[in-house]
A and B are shown apart, each in its own frame.
Chain A
Amino acid sequence: MAIIVEGRLMTFILMIIFFVLMYYFMSINKEQQYTIRAMPALQAIPEAVGRAAEMGRPVLWTPGISGALNNSSQGPQILAAISILEYLTEECVKAGVHLQAIVPLPDALPLIEETMRTAYLREGKPEEFNPDQITFISEQSPYLSATLGYMQRYEPASNIFVGGFYYESVVLGEAGNHIGAMQIGGTNNTHQMPFLVATCDYMLLAEELFAAGAAISQNRDMLGSIKGEDFMKVILVAITGVGFILGALNITIIADLLGM
């Protein structure tokens, strides 16, 4: 009897190859620093905060309706958005800018609050953190209506829309444009990417959202895992290229192997 469940063998192999690749690049040549392509969306965060400081207005961060943390596709996006939130909070604290988070995710509240609180602490201004900087609203449509209301009432200078967005993306993006806010978007929800692209000044598309934390920290080990990702892409590109040629010759060995 096979150890791995039938039909899941190749999934297992691909996962192990990926883990090994990432671990390999995290472990080798410890003295060599990896570089990552500049991400304009991340580089724009200080600009977004600086703009708010100049205008004397707040910065708004919101992760979209996303889903529960145990949701397989949305949970990791929320965490990636929180990685960005930490950096954003630090920049806001340094510049003395009010950061407002509007959050429809009850289970992520502890993470979000702790992340902001820690950032204030790290910048030496723990007393300036106010839990009211995090507004919780339950459910998608009320969350949208509250965020829309906040935007026109407080006119944030910059909006950071990173996380698992659904239909609210286009509404928030357009409402943000209406008040002339600078906007940075990011999501792995493919169905919302066009709207954030259309309404934001800068975007973190798909994988870039997950890699943002590594890019911000410039932590060598984290960048090593991104190197591993890139080599995984090379493998997938090679499989696709060879499979394409063999497929054209009616040889289906690659497809058969992938389907194992």
Chain B
Amino acid sequence: MAYPTATLDVIGLWVGWFLMLMIYSYPLYKENVAYRAAEHMFIGVTLAITIITNFSNVMRMCITPLTQGNILMIVPLVLGLLMFTMLIPEYRWLSRYPVALLVGAGFGLGIRGTIKPNLQDAIIDTITAPTGGAMIDWFNYLYVAVGLICSIMYFMLTFEHSGPLKAPTRIGRLFIMVGLGAYFGNTVLFRFTMLTGRAQYFLQVLKLIPM
């Protein structure tokens, strides 16, 4: 993308650049008036965008089908409006119904969706032995199985981590720490890449590097 030439776009680019500095004044210095202004601007603008987007979603998914004769769409409309009874003390309890439907859908999808990938596939992958004869593959096979068993034992909540459980749970905790460290290390790349993008933008707006 080339550096903009239209006046409004150039102004916009600089507005964005200053907003970035206003936000970064928080970590680089401390909370201050500039940050507070940017924070409130962001909240206001985003709320408006979200309202319009959600409104158009409701129109598209509910009102339009309703006007086209899909009478069932009256149900989510009424349930959705029941949410607002939260603002009326005597009828506050009615807001539980739309929430109940959402929660039910969440639990249903959660229970049915979590067993296969998180239990079955995870264990199948753990107990599928390597096909080649390389020593490292067999070591990894052993490492993952032992690590998984010990780490699961660490999460035994109604058994004391003593006696026969003492050693495996202690080892399990070490496996967990390795996992957390690797996670952490992997995430650093992502976070730095994004900050790199901002550093690049900082220079681009100043025309120190091409856009």
**A226: Cβ under 8 A from any B Cβ:** yes
Residues of A close to B126: CB separation below 8 A: 240, 243-244
Cβ of A146 < 8 Å from any Cβ of B? yes
For the complex, what is the distance from the CA of A247 to the CA of B123, rounded to whole Å? 12
Chain B residues with CB under 8 A of A23? none
Chain B CB within 8 A of A218 CB? no
**B187 x A34 contact (CB < 8 A):** no
B155 at the binding interface (Cβ < 8 Å):
yes
Q: Mark B169-206, 1 if CB is under 8 A from A, else 0.
A: 00000000000110110010001000000000000000
Known A72-B114, A230-B158, A237-B153: A145·B127 in contact at CB below 8 Å: no
A137–B86 Cα distance when bound, in Å, is 17
**B50: which of A108, A139, A258 is its contact (CB, 8 Å)?**
A139
Query: What residues of B have a CB within 8 angstroms of the CB of A240 in the complex?
Result: 123, 126-127, 145, 148-149, 152
Distance in Å from the Cβ of A24 to the closest Cβ of chain B? 14
0/1 per residue, A161-203, Cβ < 8 Å to B?
A: 0000000001000000000000000000011011101100000
Q: List chain B residues, Cβ under 8 A from A20.
A: none
Instruction: Kindly state whether residue A59 has any CB partner on chain B within 8 Å.
Output: no
Assess A37 versus B152: contact at CB under 8 Å? Given A69-B103, A195-B184: no
The reply to whether A152 and B31 contact each other, CB–CB distance below 8 Å, is yes
Within 8 A of A (CB), among B86-117: 86, 92, 95-96, 98-99, 101-103, 105-107, 109-116
Instruction: Decide yes or no whether B208 CB sits under 8 A from chain A.
Output: no
On whether the beta carbons of A36 and B157 are closer than 8 Å, the reply is yes
**Pair A14/B115 contact, Cβ less than 8 Å:** yes
Provided the pairs A10-B120, A75-B103, A243-B123 are in contact, do residues A110 and B184 lie with their beta carbons within 8 angstroms? no
Given contacts A37-B159, A236-B123, contact A70 B102 (CB under 8 A): yes
Chain A interface mostly: helix
Q: How far is the CA of A237 from the CA of B47 in the complex (A)?
A: 48
B46/A75 in contact, CB under 8 A: no
Q: Is A32 an interface residue (CB 8 A)?
A: no
CB <8 Å contact, B124 and A190: no
Q: Does A206 contact B (CB under 8 A)?
A: yes
**For residue B17, which residues in chain A have a CB less than 8 angstroms away from its CB?**
none
CB contact under 8 A between A258 and B124, given known A113-B86, A142-B46? yes
Contacts of B156 in A (CB 8 A): 37, 230, 233
The reply to whether B159 and A11 contact each other, CB–CB distance below 8 Å, is no
B115 in contact with A110 (CB, 8 Å): no
Quick check: B103 and A247 within 8 Å, CB to CB? no
**Contact A142–B129 (Cβ < 8 Å):** no
Tell me which residues across on chain B come within 8 A of A254, comparing CB atoms: 127
- Contact assessment for A107 and B99 in the assembled complex, using a CB-CB cutoff below 8 Å: yes
Is B128's beta carbon under 8 Å from chain A? yes
Shortest distance from the beta carbon of B99 to any chain A beta carbon, whole Å? 6
Inter-chain CA distance A239–B102, complex, in Å, is: 35
| Any A CB within 8 A of the CB of B13 | no
Q: Is there a chain A Cβ closer than 8 Å to B119's Cβ? A: yes
Q: Which of B98, B115, B152, B155 contacts A11 (CB 8 A)?
A: B115
- A142-B42 CB under 8 A given contacts A37-B160, A70-B102, A206-B155: yes
B26 at the interface (CB under 8 A from A): yes
Q: How far does the alpha carbon of A246 sit from the alpha carbon of B95 in the complex, in Å?
A: 53
Q: Using A72-B114, A145-B38 as known contacts, list a sample of 8 further A-B pairs with CB atoms less than 8 Å apart, ordered by residue number in A.
A: A15-B115, A69-B105, A72-B109, A107-B98, A138-B46, A149-B31, A227-B158, A244-B126
- Chain B residues with a Cβ under 8 A of chain A: 23, 26, 30-31, 35-36, 38-39, 42-43, 46-47, 50, 83, 86, 92, 95-96, 98-99, 101-103, 105-107, 109-116, 119-120, 123-124, 126-129, 141, 145, 148-149, 152-153, 155-161, 180-181, 183-184, 187, 191
A binding-site residues for B, Cβ under 8 Å? 8, 10-11, 14-15, 34-37, 68-76, 79, 107-111, 113-114, 137-139, 141-142, 145-146, 148-149, 152-153, 170, 190-191, 193-195, 197-198, 206-208, 211, 223, 226-227, 229-230, 233, 236-237, 239-241, 243-244, 246-248, 250, 252, 254-255, 258-259
The 6 sampled A-B contact pairs (Cβ below 8 Å) are A11-B116, A72-B110, A73-B114, A110-B96, A110-B99, A233-B152
Q: Which 3 A-B pairs have the closest CB atoms?
A: A75-B106, A243-B127, A152-B31
